[in-house]
Amino acid sequence: MEILIYTTSGCFYCTQVKELMRRANLPYEIIEVSTMEDRQKFKVNNPKVIGFPYVIIDGEPIGGLVETARFLVQKGLVSGKKA
């Protein structure tokens, strides 16, 4: 499974999605979108993106933290129950 996570520095939700991947024991690649120019370019090339993190799994756009969590629960890779 190839997982790309587009993040920005200091992003709380980006940290949470990384923790979610850790809990699921899934390897992932971080792509830092650090400058405003990088963010704008990314959003132009990916018009459905409204914020970060943005996760793509096996070439399929998943979305942000909530959408990624939902995807992983549906696939049985993490539990939907609170610890």
Asked if residue 10 belongs to a domain, the reply is no
Higher pLDDT, 13 or 83: 13
pLDDT at 50: 80
Q: Rounded to whole angstroms, how far apart are CA atoms 60 and 80?
A: 22
Q: How confident is the model at residue 69 (pLDDT cuts 50, 70, 90)?
A: very high
Hey, what are 37's tokens?
């120019």
Range list of H helices, 1-83: 12-23, 36-45, 65-74
Asked if residue 69 belongs to a domain, the reply is yes
Asked if residue 45 belongs to a domain, the reply is yes
Rounded to a whole number, what is the distance in angstroms from the first to the last CA of the chain?
26
Segment 3-50, tens digit of pLDDT: 999 998 899 999 999 999 999 999 999 999 887 787 777 777 777 788
Containing structural domain, residue 69 = 17-24+33-49+62-74
Asked if residue 66 belongs to a domain, the reply is yes
Give just the sign of the alpha carbon dihedral 81, 3, 32, 37: negative
Q: Centre a 10 Å sphere on the Cβ of residue 45 and count the other Cβ atoms it contains.
A: 8
This prediction's pTM? 0.85
Q: How confident is the model at residue 82 (pLDDT cuts 50, 70, 90)?
A: low
- Note if the bond before 27 is cis, omega within 30 degrees: no
Q: In the predicted model, is pLDDT for residue 83 greater than 80? A: no
Asked if residue 39 belongs to a domain, the reply is yes
Domain count of the fold of the chain: 1
